[in-house]
Chain A
């Protein structure tokens, strides 16, 4: 039991990661695929934030009387990764807009049928 409670943040990471991954694979709708991709990436962000925590450490702001700080580096890394994630989502959504214009649908099976006709 303590294996689950003590590491609950990592269990959340695993659950989100698998849920996101499953959506990416199974969803037929392209927007849902992007949503799945986002959940998948977010789980990794939480993993990074988790590993930055030092037990008993305070927030990494210099102050009197505090000797133990959490590690701020993973936060900074994840700030960059969030930017990358937002950019990916933007490109993905832009592509979906153009796919909708070209095919009139964002359902994967429908535009596959349309291409087969040509």
Chain B
């Protein structure tokens, strides 16, 4: 009875929880409440993932209005997988945030932080679960507006200008998506994703639909920070509070990648997008440029947070690269990387936040000799960094392995080579931090205020680090889910319609 409402609960819980959080007014209470809500959403997402792996699709008619007239919540393996990542990371970040935001956000704004975080979570879950193209736009804006607020909460004034830039770019992106959805509606008269897929399949090529697709892909590319539309991301992640960076880097752009996958594979169909419009070449080139350009830029940053932000843009390149290979194996590698990237970038940003908590700086100068002073934090940074590089026995290795295999499967030797070279650049930028942390003496050896981070920050960080190792060794859960999701997405759209 209750279980039938599960597909909508990860949205409704945080959405109702957010205003309650604001009313609680006490920072501690709001923290406890937000963490519980997020944890419960995580639990439901896991149940949803296991159910969808077992039974396939769960459809939920919102308000009892039957699809395609009403709004449909539609959970399949692909979005259940990303939903688990988002809610799981959200919970860990909230645990971590309690102490982290003490130093980075003004005391009387703490409840606002938890409120905005829950709203953002509600928006992201909504984007993932919905089966309605316009509804997706609304949830996208809910999460984006909450994100702008979260970024601007930092006490550094540069966060304000970063948030404003993010707002302008994000709104343009969202409006582009709105235009695209309008054009699809113009031609098909429906907004339900499966209905859209069935009706678009009737057209071989149509100028309105092509224009709509172009608008949507550009809009989504801004949201997911695909090179060269990524310029809003580095300042926003650099100046945002560390807990916010950790959450956003692992979720917000990844959900946008999911939106792109949804529009390409479910609504338009891979055939239409890649063969009719030739998008695969465009995406492939942009992905490779993103990997190289942003990895290079990352190697010269003096601020470690900026470095990680550029590294995020490069990692998004790997995901888009997987999608642009137009094979089930490539898509699966892309989805797997969404999952793994959340684990490693979450852990890295948490480690940087812990250093910021103790030293008050994210500059690389603050890392001199930290290997001795904050051994657990730096060990976490090291392992998560190895995962970014793609060293065997870490999660990062698994997704790179599948990506290279997918490229070789199609005889793309050059692409496989470029993926591996991109990883070498990751060694450079992660190695720089490790070098100063372990092989340089601290600038001020007598300073005793710098010690290991608080336990409440270390626990979520190390959960992510251990998950990095776990999913690097036992890949059965992550790989089987990503594999099922990609097979599910890759079947022709018309077949999906028949499932209903």
Report Cα–Cα, A41/B185, bound state, in Å.
18
* Interface assignment of B171: CB less than 8 Å from any CB of chain A: yes
- For window 130-180 of B, CB contacts with A under 8 Å fall at 134, 137-138, 141, 145, 148-149, 152, 157-158, 160-161, 163-164, 167-168, 171-172, 174-175, 178-179
Whether a CB of chain B sits under 8 angstroms from the CB of A66 is no
| A80 in contact with B138 (CB, 8 Å) | yes
Q: Does B16 contact A (CB under 8 A)?
A: no
Q: Is the CB of A91 within 8 A of B148?
A: yes
**Chain A residues positioned under 8 Å from B185 (CB to CB):** 51, 74
- Whether A88 lies near B161 (C-beta < 8 A) is no
Please judge, given known A-B contacts A24-B172, A84-B141, whether A91 and B160 are in contact too, CB under 8 Å.
no
Interface members, chain A 24-41 (any B CB < 8 Å): 24, 30, 33, 37, 40-41
Q: Is B422 an interface residue (CB 8 A)?
A: no
**B148 touching A95 by the CB < 8 A rule?**
yes
Main secondary structure of the interface of A (DSSP, over half): helix
Structural contact, A24 and B145, CB atoms closer than 8 A: no
Residues of chain B at interface, number, CB under 8 A: 25
Q: How far is the CA of A84 from the CA of B148 in the complex (A)?
A: 14
Whether the Cβ atoms of B134 and A91 lie closer than 8 Å is no
| Interface SS of chain B | helix
- In chain B, what residue has the closest Cβ to A114? B157
Residue interface bits A29-71, CB-to-B below 8 A is 1, else 0: 0100100010011001001100100000000000000000000
Chain A interface size, as a band, is 20 to 34
Residues of the B chain whose Cβ atoms lie less than 8 Å from the Cβ of A6: none
Instruction: Determine whether A18 belongs to the interface, using a CB cutoff of 8 Å to chain B.
Output: no
A111–B168 Cα gap in the complex (Å)?
A: 17
Q: Which residues of A contact B178 (CB under 8 A)?
A: 44, 81
**Are the CB atoms of B182 and A44 closer together than 8 Å?**
yes
Known: A80-B138, A88-B145, A88-B167. Contact between A95 and B152, CB under 8 A?
yes
Contact in complex: A77, B134 (CB < 8 Å): yes
- Assess A95 versus B164: contact at CB under 8 Å? Given A41-B171, A44-B182, A51-B182: yes
Query: CB of B186 within 8 A of chain A?
Result: yes
Question: CA of A80 to CA of B168 in the docked complex: distance in angstroms?
Answer: 19
Q: Is the CB of B167 within 8 A of A30?
A: no
Q: Among B134, B148, B168, which residue has the most Cβ atoms of chain A within 10 A?
A: B168
A58→B163 CA distance, assembly (Å): 45
CB-CB under 8 A from A19, the residues of chain B are: none
B88-144 residues with Cβ-Cβ distance < 8 A to A are 134, 137-138, 141
Q: Which residues of B contact A84 (CB under 8 A)?
A: 137-138, 141, 174
Closest to B146 in A: A91
Binding site for A on B (CB under 8 A): 134, 137-138, 141, 145, 148-149, 152, 157-158, 160-161, 163-164, 167-168, 171-172, 174-175, 178-179, 182, 185-186
3 nearest CB pairs, A to B: A102-B157, A84-B141, A95-B164
> 17 other contacts beyond A21-B172, A88-B141, A88-B145, with CB at 8 A cut-off?
A24-B172, A37-B172, A41-B171, A44-B182, A48-B182, A51-B182, A51-B186, A74-B185, A81-B178, A84-B137, A87-B141, A87-B145, A88-B167, A92-B164, A92-B168, A95-B164, A103-B157
